Structure 1
Amino acid sequence: MTVAESQDPSRPRAPEEVAAELARLMPRDAVYTLRFLGESQHRLRAHFEEVIARELAGRGVTAESHPMIRGFIETHALLLRDFVLSGVAMTHQLRLGEIERLLGDTTSVLSVDIWDDLRGHIETAERQFRAQADALPDQLEGYRAP
C-alpha cells in the first residue's frame, strides 16, 4: 500500500492493514520499558505524601489549619510518583530487536504475536466506538459553529 492510499479518508482501512503498518514500524517505534506495578507504586506514592505533608507542615500548612489539604497532598504525591516512574521507564528501554535477540526469537514469533494483539485491540476499539457513536451528535452539540 502506498502512502497516498493509506491517507485516503474515503477508503476505510481494515484493522489488519493498520496492524500491518504498525508492525512494519515496530523495529523503529516499539520499545519495552521498565514499569513498576502494585506495591511499588503504592510505597512511592506514600513516600511522597509523607514528604509533601512534612514540607507543608514546616511552612505552617497542616490538616488542622487547612482541613481540605489531604486531597492536595494525594494529588501531588501521584504527580511526583508518576514523574519518577516515567523517568525510570524512559531511561530503561529495549527495542523489539533487542528483546527478540535476548529471547532467541529467530522466527519473529513475538512480532507476529504483537501484530495479532494490535489487530484485536484495534477491532475492539472500533467496535466500542461504534456502540457509542449514536449518542455523540447530541454530546457534541456544544462544538457546533455558532
Structure 2
Amino acid sequence: MANVWNEPRGEEGPSAAATLATQLLERADRDVTFMVHLVGESRDLLTRHFVGFIETELARRGINYGAHPLLRPFIEMHARELTDFVLHGIGLRHQFGLQALETMAGDPARLLRVDLWDSLQSHISDAQQHFVSDVSGLQRILAQIEADA
C-alpha cells in the first residue's frame, strides 16, 4: 500500500504523541486561532430579541398569530437563523492567532469588549435589515395560502 502523504511514517505510542504535539505547536503561530463564541443567556437574549423584532415587523404588515397557525414556528425558526447569523459573524470576525494573544499589550480585554460591541451592533442591524428586506416574500406566501384555503 502506498503512503498517501509521502512522508515517513511516525513512531507509535507516547513518544509519537510528544513528537506530533511538538510539530503542531511549531505551526501554532499560523494554525492555532481562538474564536469568540457567545453561549448561554447571551444567545437566548439575542434569540428573544429577534422573536420580538419579527413579531413587530409582521404586525406592522397586518400579519398576526390568530390568522396563521404556522406563524409561530416560522418566527422561531427565523429568529434562530438571525441569531446564528450574528453569532457566526462575530466568531469569524474575532479570530485571534496564538501569537497575537501572547503579545497583546495594555488592556486587551477592554479593547476586545469595545470591538466586540461594535461587531455585535453591526451584525444585529444587518440581520434586522435583511429580514425587513425579505418580509414582502412572506406576505406573498401567506396570501397564497389564504387563497388556496
- The two structures have a TM-score, normalised by structure 2, of 0.52
Instruction: State how far apart, in whole Å, the 1-side matches of 2:71 and 2:95 are.
Output: 37
- 1:97 Cα shift? 1.1
Alignment match, 1:39: 41
Go from structure 1 to structure 2 and tell me whether the alpha carbon gap of 1:21 and 1:66 turns closer, same or farther (over 3 Å shift): farther
RMSD, aligned α-carbons: 3.1
Match of 1:67 in 2: 69
Q: Distance in 2 between matches of 1:80 and 1:95?
A: 27
Separation in 2, partners of 1:20, 1:43: 41
Structure 2 residue runs of 5 or longer lacking an equivalent are 106-149
- How many corresponding residue pairs? 98
Give the TM-score, by structure 1 length.
0.53
1:122 aligns with none
Return the alpha-carbon distance in structure 1 between the equivalents of residues 70 and 23 of structure 2: 50
- The percent identity for this pair of structures is 36
Structure number with the bigger relative contact order (C-alpha 8 A, sep ≥ 6) is 1
The amino acid of 2:44's aligned partner reads H
- Separation in 1 of the partners of 2:20 and 2:60? 55
- Indicate the residue corresponding to 1:142 in structure 2: none
Structure 1 unaligned residues grouped into runs of 5+: 104-146
- Cα shift at 1:66: 0.7
Counterpart selection for 2:91 from 89, 100, 112: 89
